[in-house]
Amino acid sequence: MPKTTTYALSLFDIYLSSFLDYHGIEPRIIKEGTRAMFCFPDDDRVHKLITIYNSNPTSIPLLDYIAHLRKLRSQMLSMRG
């Protein structure tokens, strides 16, 4: 039986969501009123990456991060219409 992912962590922060997406955790984007909400699994890996993000990492390649930011922004804007 395939493992299903439970999305229990919801974020409105596109920058944190881009950081998580850069590290291979793709969000499920849900339209909440006029805003887009990024939903992630509520597991240890996500929490560790959030801690790393909040400690202001300097070792992330900027152009790669910007590519993920643009991808999520594009998906978000296409959902909002």
Mean pLDDT by 10 residues, the chain (81 residues): 69 96 95 90 95 92 96 90 65
Query: Which pLDDT does position 4 carry in this prediction?
Result: 59
Query: Which pLDDT does position 32 carry in this prediction?
Result: 84
Tell me the whole-structure pTM to 2 decimals: 0.88
Buried b (16+ CB within 10 A) or exposed e, 15-52: ebbbbbbbeebebebeeeeeebbbbbbeeeebeebbee
Query: Which pLDDT does position 34 carry in this prediction?
Result: 85
Beta strands in 4-70 (DSSP E): 7-11, 28-32, 35-41
State the DSSP code for 24: T
Query: Which pLDDT does position 3 carry in this prediction?
Result: 56
